[in-house]
Amino acid sequence: MSKPVNEIKSAWIRDAKEADYIVVSSRIRLARNLADFTFPASMTMQDSSEIVKQVQGIAAVIADYNFYQLADLSDLSKQILVEKHMISPQLACLQGQEAAIIINDEGSVSIMVNEEDHLRLQCILPGLNLEQCFQAISNADQELEQKLNYAYDSELGYLTSCPTNLGTGMRASVMLHLPALVKTKNIAKAFDTVAKLGFVARGIYGEGTEGLGHMFQISNQITLGRTEEDIIASLSSLVKQLVDHELNARDYLEENFLIDLEDSVGRAWGLLSGARKISAEETMKLLSKLRLGAERKLVVDIKPADLNKLMLDIQIGSLQQLVHERLDANQRDIIRATILRQRLKQ
Amino acid sequence: MSKPVNEIKSAWIRDAKEADYIVVSSRIRLARNLADFTFPASMTMQDSSEIVKQVQGIAAVIADYNFYQLADLSDLSKQILVEKHMISPQLACLQGQEAAIIINDEGSVSIMVNEEDHLRLQCILPGLNLEQCFQAISNADQELEQKLNYAYDSELGYLTSCPTNLGTGMRASVMLHLPALVKTKNIAKAFDTVAKLGFVARGIYGEGTEGLGHMFQISNQITLGRTEEDIIASLSSLVKQLVDHELNARDYLEENFLIDLEDSVGRAWGLLSGARKISAEETMKLLSKLRLGAERKLVVDIKPADLNKLMLDIQIGSLQQLVHERLDANQRDIIRATILRQRLKQ
């Protein structure tokens, strides 16, 4: 029996450790398709229903797996899953096909059925933990592969809807908090390096979004012609470099502009503690300053797990879930400010 | 023996009562000149010295009066007297003539010797108290007049350096906090009425200054052809009208934009409590919001006397006096923020 979907906590939020201020989370995603069906973009409703049924049968026998038909989830629940990064906005909006979601009890592994590919498996963990993510997602992948006929070409590797995913079908990504690189105007140079190494940087909610709250996702572009281990090792090494750059930029700001840094953190704390209505966007920008202050042990003392949880709880869906009420934009801004005041009272 | 000048507290700051949120202070000033000397603009050093000597002799025999030669006061002390509104910026900067200041123990009456006129007597009290100011200043005026030969014309009245002060030589003024009239864009209309009645509105530190922190001084233009009682009665009545308009505007904002009002007060409190460096100008603007919130009993609970004291203590001179140190602009911004944090901690 599956748990109520809203009761599953995200591992990357809950399990963040003291060191996880800069590397917020690591994620590995695998794209897999079934050989006996056309890709989701052109499949029939009957196909989609058959795939969901097959996957449900397998998921039922794996311990700790929770299965949800997309159609059974409320819009609010889907919105919250997007905010937790457990499903994509595309799946949440899917119409005209059956789809499903599988999530493990721990809230680290989730599998989307009939998104862009028949199966999208992912594992997200806090901090820099790509190897551990890969281990977890490979286990899930193997369990499924034993019982499903994956579309696989001995030369091309795993076949995918979009050719950019061909081969390993793997995307590895890391979410980084890089306020000091932005502040010192070194972020463009850092992202040049990212691009030269075949990786791409983007905003917190995927392609096309800005680096809101100075959060950036770095992920691999290339899936063909490189092994999973190679991609993971390169990305881990790149992330360590970026973290070093960010730490150097923080040291520079702290050594040369300490009072400005403290002022920025203090004012962010003041606004978050004092506001009676506040947008999600402004909150994200201010939480970014608190996160920087907390990492530097300046002005505020807040753990990464608490910051991650705040970052989630002020989002549109999670906020409404917290108060068990549908809220319009204005009401959300008021409730958001109330929650922030309560949480930041020390 | 005169008290150290920095130990004299301003009555208008210290004695503010619960009701004195909107009418911050009332002030009556009299311009007087001595018949046997030319006006200050054209008098000799010897004249100025002789006048100071005469006035000192009289002040010495009046109880509770403290006498200070301008030359004996440090720049910092003069700056603080300006910030307390006890002397004018013009007197503080005076060069090439002897000048003096007399202040009563209570910190309500001050007399400038050899500013624009030989004598400028003033009384400032908190709230709407023009009659009481006039009573106090008339007593001082009479004590001096008994022993000095005032320049007086039976037709023109008291003779003054500037013809705008001729006649009564009296300027009556009231300092008002009018944020809601500004916010609702009714301030220009209100000041039209002020002008039509022969009064003038200006910023907190006199002519040419803006309404910083929504503080405005309303004073009489005309000194000739109207009795003191008439001017005081008209101004009192005008101020009561302005206060009514301001209260109506506050009611309107509270009824229609309560959350915005609370948000504005809460954010002002947050910034004042959180900042690690802050300018006097930004502080005045934020204190204005706190003052409005306090009057409405919204978000904060601070008495007018405490707000007045904060408004004084964050000024350039008073700030340095508080920490007993000369500070550059950057250091002042840091100390100002420290003081604000301490005072606003509840």
Q: Is B294 exposed, middle or buried (0-12, 13-18, 19+ CB in 10 A)?
A: buried
| Residue (of B1, B236, B24) closest to B134 by Cα position | B236
What whole-number distance in Å separates Cα of residue B322 and Cα of residue B14? 16
Say which of A262, A273, A276 has its CB closest to residue B262.
A276
Instruction: For chains A and B, count residue pairs whose Cβ atoms are closer than 8 Å.
Output: 63
Q: pLDDT in tens for each of the 346 residues of chain B? A: 789 998 999 999 999 999 999 999 999 999 999 999 999 988 999 999 999 999 999 888 777 999 999 999 999 999 999 999 999 999 999 888 999 999 999 999 999 999 999 999 999 999 999 999 999 999 999 999 999 999 999 988 999 988 888 888 999 999 999 999 999 999 999 999 999 999 999 876 554 445 688 999 999 987 778 899 999 999 999 999 999 999 999 999 999 999 999 999 999 999 999 999 999 999 999 999 999 999 999 999 999 999 999 999 999 999 999 998 899 999 999 999 999 999 998 5
Write out chain B residues lying below 8 Å of A263, CB-based: 275-277, 337
Q: Mind listing the pLDDT tens digit for each residue in A241-296?
A: 999 999 999 999 999 999 999 999 999 999 999 999 999 999 999 999 999 999 99
- So what's the pLDDT on residue B135? 97
C-beta atoms surrounding A147 within 10 Å: 11
Q: How many CB atoms lie within 10 A of CB A69?
A: 13
Q: Which amino acid is at B20?
A: D
Q: What's the confidence (pLDDT) of residue B204? A: 61
Chain A residues with CB-CB distance to B263 below 8 A: 275-277, 337
- B274 close contact with A: CB closer than 8 A: yes
Whole-number pLDDT of residue A346? 58
For the cut 80, the answer to whether the pLDDT of residue A1 exceeds it is no
A337–chain B Cβ distance below 8 A for any pair: yes
* Nearest-by-Cβ selection for B271 from A271, A277, A299: A271
Question: Looking at the complex, does the CB of residue B292 fall below 8 Å from at least one CB of chain A?
Answer: no
* B259 alpha-carbon distance from chain centroid: 33
- DSSP strand pairing (B170-177 vs B157-158): unpaired
From the list B266, B274, B334, the residue facing A267 with the nearest CB is B274
User: Would you list the DSSP string of B92-107?
Assistant: HT--SS--EEEEETTS
Q: Which of A259, A270, A337 sits opposite B273 (nearest CB)?
A: A270
- Per-residue pLDDT reduced to its tens digit, A109-133: 999 999 999 999 999 999 999 999 9
How would residue A204 be classed by pLDDT, with cut points 50, 70 and 90? low
Cβ proximity of B56 and B67 under 8 Å: yes
Going along chain A from its start, the domains and CATH numbers come out as 5-248 (3.30.590.10), 257-345 (no CATH)
Q: Do A266 and B276 touch (CB under 8 A)?
A: yes
| Shortest Cα distance, chain B CAs vs residue A134, angstroms | 43
Are the beta carbons of B11 and B126 closer than 8 angstroms? yes
Would you tell me how many other CB atoms lie within 10 Å of the CB of residue A139?
13
B6 backbone dihedrals φ, ψ, rounded to 5° = -75, -10
Cβ separation of B266 and A276 shorter than 8 Å?
Answer: yes
Answer yes or no: are the C-beta atoms of B201 and B189 closer than 8 Å: no
B263/A337 touch (CB, cutoff 8 Å), yes or no = yes
Judging contacts by C-beta atoms under 8 Å, the chain A residues touching residue B269 are 270, 274
ipTM of the complex, rounded to two decimals:
0.89
Give the burial class of B169: count Cβ atoms within 10 A of its Cβ; 0-12 exposed, 13-18 middle, 19 or more buried.
buried
The rounded distance, in Å, linking the Cα atoms of B143 and A176 is 76
What pLDDT is attached to residue A181? 95
Q: Does residue A208 have a pLDDT over 50?
A: no
Q: Is A295 exposed, middle or buried (0-12, 13-18, 19+ CB in 10 A)?
A: buried
- Per-residue pLDDT reduced to its tens digit, A156-179: 889 998 888 888 899 999 999 999
Q: Rounded to whole angstroms, how far apart are CA atoms B176 and B173? A: 10
pLDDT for the residue numbered A205: 53
Question: Residue A275: which of B270, B273, B334 has the nearest Cβ?
Answer: B270
CB atoms A263 and B337 under 8 Å: yes
The minimal CB distance from B274 to the residues A259, A266, A334 is found for A266
Q: How many other CB atoms sit within 10 Å of the CB of residue B258?
A: 13
Closest-CA residue in chain A for B268?
A274
Q: What is each CA distance from B128 to A54, A77, B43, B296, B322, in whole angstroms?
A: 83, 60, 37, 19, 29
- Residues of chain B contacting residue A286, judged by C-beta atoms under 8 Å apart: none
Q: Which of A135-139, A229-233, A342-346, B88-92 has the lowest mean pLDDT?
A: A342-346
| pLDDT at residue B208 in the model | 46
Contacts of B275 in chain A (CB under 8 A): 263, 266-267, 270
Q: Is B127 helix (H, G, I), strand (E, B) or coil?
A: coil
Instruction: Give chain A's largest Cα–Cα span.
Output: 64
